[in-house]
Amino acid sequence: MDFSLSKKHLMAQSLFRSFAENEVKPLAQEVDETEEFPKATVEKMAKSGFLGIPVPKEYGGQGCDPLTYVMCVEELAKVCGTTAVIVSAHTSLCIDPIMTYGTEEQKQKYVPDLASGRKLGAFGLTEPGAGTDAQGQQTKAVLDGDEWVLNGSKCFITNGKQADVYIIIAVTGIVEKRGRKMKEISAFIVEKGTPGFSFGTKEKKMGIRGSSTYELIFTDCRIPKENLLGQQGKGFNIAMHTLDGGRIGIAAQALGLAEGALETTIKYVKERKQFGRSIAQFQNTQFQLADMATKVEAAKMLVYRAAMAKATQKTYSVEAAMAKLYAAEVAMEVTTKAVQLHGGYGYIREYDVERMMRDAKITEIYEGTSEVQRMVISGNILK
Amino acid sequence: MGLEEYKGVYIFAQQVDNKLSNIAFELLGKARDLAKDLDTDVTAVLIGCDVKGLADELAAYGADKVIVVDDPQLKEYRTEPYAHALSSVINKYKPEIMLVGATAIGRDLGPRVSARVATGLTADCTKLDIGDFPLTPVPGKEQKHNQLLMTRPAFGGNTIATIACPNHRPQMATVRPGVMQAIAKIPGAKAVVEEYNPGFEPNNNYVEIMDVVKSVVDTVDIMDAKILVSGGRGVGSPENFKILEDLAKAIGGEVSCSRAVVDAGWKPKDLQVGQTGKTVRPNVYFAIGISGAIQHVAGMEESDVIIAINKDDTAPIFEVADYGIVGDLNKIVPELTKQIIAAKEAKI
């Protein structure tokens, strides 16, 4: 049991931190205000190798462990929730399933471009009628000769329209299971630009406003037979296992948001004076900050532990669920308190904390709501 | 005087600009049924100026007799002279039943007249029968036969009330347009025409009409529409909405749409039905090329009748639809339009 970061990790962390401070932070407010996808930042991150951190070097990645990747998302989230989720969705939800389930041909074809950041990735599972109940898929894929024909739509897809490669979950048939009719669900790799694949609504969101959240539309979209990812009928397991990893990424994003809000608040309460002294000298401020710092530290341990579990264990659903659940709720609480400690200024968009509070809320919802995480955890406890 | 002196089924034959309104024919159709049950005849009361020529048309749709009240004061509908005309007719001829269409005119006229002749009025009826009152005998209470049983939805359609008027005559009802069926036209039919003028003395209740405006509404509030023809992404293109517009025109409805259509820029936002659009409750809702996600269904599931047309037989819209067709909307919708037009022409 060792709680100190290795030299390598410390070096990586300081690299992420200086990138976040110099390249991301100055744009964070503008990205939020304009709701524009930070394309230039993504290109810079690609150059720095941030888009393939846990990918083996032979596939064009950095060959680092999951913890290094988690620290990257965390450092980005400290200054900009949007930038953090771009990296997380791309790495955890698109590259990871191809690396885990793809054939050698698929890996060779897609991963080097993704890991180098020449291409961006996304993941399409959610539909209007299938959110938490992911089995409620309506999108269909039918094999016609040597092509799959996709029909349906996906909603709330992070990196939508910006991404070039999409993991799409669809129904490929009906199977009998213990006398009950069940949908047979499979996973596919679909490239942007395929005829019949278009984009619908761009969602206007409360937070992570620069993140490109789109509806995907498939109208007789034909993809090659070999774009089936993993085995036919295993799509649901692929999606769930992919989300286990993605949850660690979101947990890191939540952790970063909480840390960023805490750091900003510590600086502010030392400067701000009322009643002739800094508000840091009031015991209420001190105790609030003590609670916030303790919770952030606890969340950090859970998030780092989940990252280590991904590196060393076959399954890490519970570790990921606990990390995401706790970090997201801490992020919501800490950012809300950060706004309070800033007083009226905290409610003004010129200050960063209100943005952090808006960004934090989504971490309790996407890649499985807090309620889903509780289902996963309790299901495991009560086995 | 006794109630038994009142005889015959009368209808108010509404005309506007010396053209009979459809409701007049619908009322005649119903009045024929009622008259048959009571073994009596049907009289149309025609009120206006130079309207005598319309009597034959009323005969063709089943009036045995037409009472014409013709006076310059009655050129355009005004409450006072029309109420005077109709209540004078009732006082003179003593009908057993007096039916008025629940149009804007009829809803204004009916209650005035019923108050003047001191009888009951049931508004906006959707069903009329001859039967016993009380429906089931009540001990110690006389059960009257051959009463007009007037049924109408109340409380926004959430309850159905059947109302009788056992102790006063005539039994008056305003009847919802579009509910009763006109009979097929009898060519060359003639009715007994009787002219009656109670005399008109303009008084201070006479309204002065400044201007009559006939507006052509081109933007419609979809929340008021009785029939909505709603299209989704499956319609395919903004141009292709024409087939929905044709259907809407044929059936007398309006076009609405799903969010996907608004997002694609095919239709304006004020036509959007759903959670983030408008909530509609038409009598008939056509969901055409709409998959039926809950975000849309939440805005239209209260429609009386839902008709879904979709090529995907597993689309969730079929779970809420009363009638569904699985197939290509490009073939189905124009065919439906054609058949509706044909059916309408057959009726005329």
Q: Is A151 on the interface with B (CB under 8 A)?
A: yes
Nearest CB to B260 within list A129, A140, A200: A200
> In the numeric block, which tokens belong to residue B87?
């209540």
> Contacts of residue B293 in chain A, CB cutoff 8 Å?
127-129
Mean pLDDT across chain A: 97
Determine what percent of chain A is predicted with pLDDT higher than 90: 96
Are A138 and B314 in contact (CB < 8 Å)? yes
> Contacts of residue B274 in chain A, CB cutoff 8 Å?
none
pTM exceeds 0.85, yes or no: no
Helix axes A235-271, A81-88, angle to 10 degrees: 160
Low-confidence residues of chain B, pLDDT below 50?
A: none
Amino acid identity for residue A41 in this structure = T
Does B237 carry a binding-site annotation? no
> Contacts of residue A140 in chain B, CB cutoff 8 Å?
312, 314
Largest separation between any pair of C-alpha atoms in chain A: 79
What is the tens place of the pLDDT at every residue in B223-268?
A: 889 999 999 999 999 999 999 999 999 999 999 999 999 999 999 9
Residues 224-253 of chain B with CB under 8 A from chain A are 233
- Better pLDDT: B137 or A376: A376
Helix axes A66-79, A235-271, angle to 10 degrees: 50
Q: In which residue are the tokens 């960023």 written?
A: A260
- The one catalytic residue in A75, A203, A367, A371 is A367
> In the numeric block, which tokens belong to residue B75?
């050129």
- Better pLDDT: B274 or A362: A362
Counting beta carbons within 10 angstroms of the beta carbon of residue B217, is it exposed (0 to 12), middle (13 to 18) or buried (19 or more)?
A: exposed
- How far apart CA B150 and CA B152 sit, in angstroms, is 7
Residue A148: the pLDDT is: 98
Residue B303: the pLDDT is: 94
Q: In which residue are the tokens 């600086």 written?
A: A267
What is the tens place of the pLDDT at every residue in A229-287?
A: 999 999 999 999 999 999 999 999 999 999 999 999 999 999 999 999 999 999 999 99
- The 3-class secondary structure across A299-331, one letter per residue, is HHHHHHHHHHHHHHCCCCHHHHHHHHHHHHHHH
* Three-state DSSP state, A222: strand
Min distance B295 CA to chain A CA atoms (Å): 7
Asked if A23 is an active-site residue, the reply is no
Residue B275: the pLDDT is: 87
Residue B217: the pLDDT is: 58
- How far apart CA A131 and CA A155 sit, in angstroms, is 9
For A127, other C-beta atoms within 10 Å of its C-beta total 24
Q: Is A215 on the interface with B (CB under 8 A)?
A: yes
- How far apart CA A13 and CA A119 sit, in angstroms, is 24
> Contacts of residue B312 in chain A, CB cutoff 8 Å?
140, 151
Are A215 and B263 in contact (CB < 8 Å)? yes
Alpha-carbon dihedral angle through residues A221, A222, A228, A233, given to the nearest 10 degrees: 60
Amino acid identity for residue A292 in this structure = M
Residue B344: the pLDDT is: 85
Minimal Cα distance from B294: which residue of A?
Answer: A129
Query: CB of B245 within 8 A of CB of B255?
Result: yes
| A-interface mutation test, from B269, B291, B318, most A Cβ less than 10 A away | B291
Nearest CB to A201 within list B263, B293, B294: B263
Q: Is A135 on the interface with B (CB under 8 A)?
A: no
Nearest CB to A128 within list B264, B294, B312: B294
Min distance A127 CA to chain B CA atoms (Å): 9
Q: Which pLDDT band holds residue A182 (cuts at 50, 70, 90)?
A: confident
Residue A198: the pLDDT is: 96
> Contacts of residue A153 in chain B, CB cutoff 8 Å?
233, 260, 291
Q: Is B276 on the interface with A (CB under 8 A)?
A: no
Are B312 and A151 in contact (CB < 8 Å)? yes
Residue A126: the pLDDT is: 97
Residues 278-307 of chain B with CB under 8 A from chain A are 291, 293-295
Does B290 carry a binding-site annotation? yes
